[in-house]
């Protein structure tokens, strides 16, 4: 009995030692690979800077990686995106969508041969069966189209299509003309689908960012429904349906966009990467001067990271560029 008790005590002590060893190992490992806190800080001597003057940010502490957002809005999208930290993860936005294009009707014969349509449930298969089985909403009455009485193009103006912004949509131009009467010619150019995203800018004021959702390239695809001898011609400059003589067979032909998400917008990006892990820590940073007057919220995002995790710090400042 005593022998059994001693063996139990020895096994218990051995188990405790093993547990202690592994706990100690885990604690040492966690401490070894622990992500250090970010000690980086940034300051600015003055919140008011004259236009064109150099701005110098003073750095203290340390961070493995530092990125800089100037706080400037979208410029010449899609060539240049916005640099506002408050929109770094914005992919959907509130706002208004518009459609505009120019049209020219020639060889005027039959009336009402062009219809502009929108679908939320077209499945993206560009054949007659799938096109005709989808639900299409007629928005032609929102637009001003060429009446064929002038050789000049007629502009639709900016037409509000915001009621289609919350899901993927397809736009279509449908040409339908019956045999027995001259089938007119239609030309569409300068087409633009735009979205005006509303949000708060760095001065906490409402701002609109303008994004081009679609133009004529490379969005549109022509589909023949009736009379294979006629169809839309699609190029980067225009959509063209040549029309036909009165003796031509009945025509039905569509040109349809790809799926468009009107309120899906690109995220704002850092203006520059100030430091990476392999770079030495600097004591100051001078970015290019602002190109416009106004109030901005320059922001520095600093991180320390390894495969265990990441520590992150966001440092926001206020600055005004004056004349």
Report DSSP state, residue 35.
P
Say if residue 280 is in the same domain as residue 203: no
Identify whether residues 182 and 83 lie together within a single domain.
Answer: no
Stated pTM of the model: 0.79
Among candidate residues 256, 283, 302, the one where a domain is terminated: 256
Last residue of a domain, one of 201, 234, 256: 256
Give the integer Cα–Cα distance in Å for 146 and 292.
41
Q: In angstroms, rounded to a whole number, what is the distance separating the alpha carbons of residues 170 and 168?
A: 7
- Judgement on whether residues 106 and 188 belong to the same structural domain of the protein: yes
List the CATH number of the domain containing 50: 2.60.40
Same domain, 129 and 169: yes
**Residue 162 included in any domain:** yes
Q: Are residues 161 and 127 in the same domain?
A: yes
DSSP string, 217-231: SS--EEEEEE-TT--
Q: Classify residue 227: in a domain, yes or no.
A: yes
- Cis bond leading into 188, ω under 30°? no
Same domain, 244 and 129: yes
244 and 273 belong to one structural domain: no
Task: Examine residue 309 and state whether it is found in any structural domain, yes or no.
Answer: yes
Whether residues 272 and 195 share a domain: the answer is: no
Same-domain pairing of 226 and 137: yes
Would you state the structure tokens that stand for residue 47, as one six-digit string? 């919140």
Domain count within the chain: 3
Query: Is position 190 within any domain?
Result: yes
A 10 A CB-CB count for 139 gives: 17
User: Dihedrals φ, ψ of 14, to 5°?
Assistant: -65, -40
Q: Are residues 220 and 310 in the same domain?
A: no
Strand 206-214 and strand 185-200: the pairing is antiparallel
310, part of any domain: yes
- How far lies 230's CA from each of 21, 146, 180, 221, in Å? 82, 21, 16, 14
Query: Do 119 and 230 lie in a common domain?
Result: yes
- Digit-by-digit pLDDT tens for the chain (323 residues) are 544 545 545 554 555 445 544 544 444 444 556 888 999 999 999 999 999 999 999 999 999 999 999 999 877 676 678 899 989 998 998 899 999 999 999 998 899 999 999 999 999 999 999 999 999 999 999 999 999 999 999 999 999 999 999 899 999 999 999 999 999 999 999 999 999 988 765 555 567 788 999 999 878 999 999 999 999 999 999 999 999 999 999 999 999 999 999 999 999 999 999 999 999 999 999 999 999 999 999 999 999 998 788 999 999 999 999 99
What residue numbers bound the domain in which 1 lies? 1-32
Do 129 and 230 lie in a common domain? Answer: yes
Residue 261 located in a structural domain = no
Q: Per-residue DSSP letters for 158-214?
A: -EE-GGGTTS-BEEEEEEEE-TTS-B-EEEEEEEEEEEEEEEE-TTS-EEEEEEEEE
Instruction: Answer yes or no: is 262 within a domain.
Output: no
- Quick check: is 65 in a domain? yes
């Amino acid at each position: 009995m005593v022998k059994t008790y001693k063996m139990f005590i020895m096994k218990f002590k051995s188990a405790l030692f093993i547990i202690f060893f592994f706990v100690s190992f885990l604690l040492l490992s966690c401490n070894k690979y622990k992500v250090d806190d970010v000690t980086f800080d940034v300051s600015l001597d003055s919140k008011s800077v004259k236009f064109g003057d150099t701005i110098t940010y003073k750095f203290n502490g340390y961070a493995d990686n530092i990125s800089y957002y100037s706080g400037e809005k979208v410029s010449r999208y899609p060539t240049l995106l916005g640099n506002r930290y408050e929109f770094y993860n914005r992919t959907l936005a509130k706002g208004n969508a518009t459609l505009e294009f120019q049209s020219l009707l020639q060889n005027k014969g039959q009336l009402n041969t062009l219809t502009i349509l929108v679908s939320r449930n077209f499945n993206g298969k560009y054949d007659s069966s799938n096109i005709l089985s989808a639900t299409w909403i007629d928005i032609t009455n929102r637009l001003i189209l060429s009446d064929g009485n002038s050789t000049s193009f007629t502009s639709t103006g900016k037409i509000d299509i915001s009621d289609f912004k919350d899901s993927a949509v397809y736009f279509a131009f449908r040409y339908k003309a019956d045999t027995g009467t001259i089938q007119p010619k239609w030309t569409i150019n300068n087409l633009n689908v735009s979205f005006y995203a509303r949000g708060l800018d760095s001065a906490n004021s409402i701002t609109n960012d303008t994004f081009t959702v679609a133009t004529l390239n490379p969005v549109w695809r022509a589909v023949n429904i009736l009379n294979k001898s006629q169809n839309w011609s699609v190029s980067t400059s225009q959509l063209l349906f040549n029309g036909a003589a009165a003796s031509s067979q009945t025509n039905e032909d569509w040109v349809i966009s790809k799926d468009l998400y009107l309120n899906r917008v690109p995220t704002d990006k850092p203006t520059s990467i100030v430091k990476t892990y392999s770079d030495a820590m600097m004591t100051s940073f001078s970015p290019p001067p602002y190109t416009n007057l106004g109030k901005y919220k320059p922001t520095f995002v600093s991180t320390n990271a390894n495969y265990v995790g990441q520590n992150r710090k966001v440092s926001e400042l206020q600055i005004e560029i004056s004349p």
